[in-house]
Structure 1
């Protein structure tokens, strides 16, 4: 969990960052969901591409799988 916190603190300082919420599964689930809001896809891409973020991402154990997606908000 400390690596997630380090990544979150890094992202919060990046240009275009708006907000972040982390959610964890219940009932012994090991799933985590990170919902981040950015001003633009370009700002997110720049943060992901930074050498510091890439170093942190390489620290995750091999059994951690990440599925990054970009979504747009819709009216319901």
Structure 2
């Protein structure tokens, strides 16, 4: 794990976006598969929805 940024929607939005930077795709997969991660994820409330994605940075 390298870094994390949280973003909140504007106005009255209740949406949060977590942008995490990992050393590699393999490091992310290892973290997702770890028992500790699975325990933490199981504790999320039913109103928490997650859509994990892998992105690559582009220059604009």
CA RMSD across the alignment: 0.9
- The match for 2:21 is 37
Secondary structure of the residue aligned to 1:52 is helix
How far did residue 58 of structure 1 move? 0.5
Normalised by the size of structure 1, how large is the TM-score?
A: 0.73
> Where does the alignment leave 5 or more consecutive residues of structure 1 unmatched?
1-16
Is there any run of 5+ residues in structure 2 with no aligned partner, and where? none
Number of corresponding residues: 60
Dislocated runs of 4+, deviation >4 Å: none
- TM-score under structure 2 normalisation? 0.90
